[in-house]
């Protein structure tokens, strides 16, 4: 570590260093400027939602909004943290990136394809409405993603071993 990144006393600055407290949104002040576009977007959305004149079913919207937050906080985030822990525990370091990327891509693809796989909106009287074999196609795409990730991980591990890591 270079001496320029150390404090005057020679120690590395951590949150426990009273001479240099942990960086927060309060310091430096300009970090608050990053909140402005986000708050403007939230305000614009809230204004549009409330000002829609009854065209938006607020109860259904609130259920979806709260449900998605709970789904993320109680299911998706803990699952993702657990998968990250498993990857860190059992995979060599060079293979972790490809596996994490494959898991992320597989999860997003599955979430996007879920309504099609489950046939939501399908009409038994109109077979052309959902004409594809969506579950098979999703499986093939996810398998292709994992195949690419496996090759990527294998190359990364071999390269790291050759370089002596």
Residue 50 is assigned to a structural domain of this protein: no
Residue 28 is assigned to a structural domain of this protein: no
Residue 110 is assigned to a structural domain of this protein: yes
Residue 134 is assigned to a structural domain of this protein: yes
User: What is the spatial distance between Cα 3 and Cα 14, in angstroms, rounded to a whole number?
Assistant: 15
Residue 43 is assigned to a structural domain of this protein: no
List, for residues 59-87, the tens digit of each pLDDT value: 998 999 999 999 999 999 999 999 999 99
Per-residue confidence band for 164, with pLDDT thresholds at 50, 70 and 90:
confident
Residue 84 is assigned to a structural domain of this protein: no
List, for residues 42-66, the tens digit of each pLDDT value: 999 999 988 888 888 889 989 999 9
List, for residues 106-138, the tens digit of each pLDDT value: 999 999 999 989 988 777 787 777 788 899 999
- Cβ neighbours of residue 49 under 8 Å, at least 6 residues apart? 56, 58, 61
Q: What is the pTM of this model?
A: 0.65
Residue 16 has pLDDT above 70, yes or no: no
Q: Which domain holds residue 139?
A: 91-165
Q: What's the structural domain count of the chain? A: 1
């Amino acid at each position: 570590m270079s001496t320029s990144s150390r404090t005057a006393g020679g120690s590395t600055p951590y949150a426990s260093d009273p001479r240099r407290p942990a960086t927060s949104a309060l310091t430096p002040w300009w970090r608050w400027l990053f909140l402005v576009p986000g708050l403007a977007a939230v305000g614009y959305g809230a204004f549009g939602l409330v000002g829609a004149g009854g065209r938006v079913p607020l109860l259904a919207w609130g259920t979806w909004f709260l449900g998605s937050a709970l789904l993320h906080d109680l299911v998706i985030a803990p699952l993702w943290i657990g998968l990250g822990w498993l990857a860190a525990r059992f995979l060599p370091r060079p293979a972790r990136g490809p596996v994490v990327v494959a898991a992320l891509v597989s999860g997003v693809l599955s979430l996007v394809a879920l309504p099609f796989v489950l046939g939501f909106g399908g009409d038994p009287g109109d077979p052309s409405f959902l004409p594809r074999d969506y579950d098979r196609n999703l499986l093939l795409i996810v398998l292709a993603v994992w195949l690419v990730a496996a090759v990527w991980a294998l190359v990364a591990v071999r390269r790291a071993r050759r370089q002596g890591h």
